């Protein structure tokens, strides 16, 4: 079994020391899905709180930049790019978040955080219309760069 890098030899949690790693361009994309009933989907453009899809997009970008403040052992990263695409589908809203940096560690957590916070924002802005909205399918789609190499979900 592969050793987890966030634990020391005594089993205590620790922040990984990346000071010896070289800077490389690193990217990640993650997704989340917000399952919403047809009646609420039709009302999205007329939401009294504003356009939930645009607000979710901005919330996701802001969250990517704050990931290290939310996840205790994440390194603070300077992102060279973060974006969130929000697409209405037949059964809800698909969110795909991306992040890019040039640094010694990857941006998977930034992409995952962006997708998750964007999904939570869609929920927050539509919960008055339907409490049964659910968030699902949060996962990493792909990542590039770093010692671990590239990954693409199949």
Instruction: Please state, in angstroms and rounded to a whole number, the distance separating the CA atoms of residues 76 and 128.
Output: 35
pTM score, whole prediction: 0.92
Single out the residue of 83, 101, 89, 70 nearest to residue 137, CA to CA: 89
For 24-143, CATH number out of 3.30.420.40, 3.20.20.10, 3.40.630.30, 3.30.70.640 equals: 3.30.70.640
Is residue 83 part of the annotated active site? The answer reads no
Quote the pLDDT of residue 16: 86
Quote the pLDDT of residue 1: 60
Domain extent listing, the chain: 24-143
Nearby residues of 19 by Cβ (< 8 Å), 6 or more positions away: 104
- pLDDT-based confidence at 2, cuts 50/70/90? low
- What's the first-to-final CA gap in the chain, in angstroms? 23
Reported as a single tens digit per residue, the pLDDT across 3-21 is 667 777 777 888 888 888 8
What backbone torsions phi and psi does residue 142 show, to the nearest 5 degrees?
Answer: -165, 160
The four Cα atoms 2, 113, 107, 99 give a dihedral, to 10 degrees, of 150
Q: Which two tokens stand for residue 104?
A: 């010694």
Contact 65, 48 (CB under 8 A): no
Contact 110, 29 (CB under 8 A): no
Which of the following is catalytic: 124, 130, 137, 150?
Answer: 124
């Amino acid at each position: 079994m592969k050793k987890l890098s966030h634990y020391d030899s005594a089993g205590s949690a620790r922040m990984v020391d990346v000071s010896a790693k070289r800077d490389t361009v690193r990217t990640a994309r993650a997704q989340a899905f917000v399952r919403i009933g047809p009646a609420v989907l039709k009302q999205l453009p007329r939401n009294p709180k504003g356009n939930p899809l645009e607000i979710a997009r901005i919330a996701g970008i802001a969250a990517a930049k704050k990931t290290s403040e939310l996840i205790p052992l994440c390194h603070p990263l300077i992102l060279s790019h973060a974006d969130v695409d929000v697409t209405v589908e037949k059964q809800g809203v698909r969110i795909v978040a991306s992040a890019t940096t040039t640094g010694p560690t990857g941006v998977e957590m930034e992409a995952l955080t962006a997708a998750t916070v964007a999904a939570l924002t869609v929920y927050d802005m539509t919960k008055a219309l339907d409490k049964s909205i659910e968030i699902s399918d949060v996962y990493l789609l792909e990542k590039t760069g770093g010692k671990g190499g590239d990954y693409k979900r199949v």
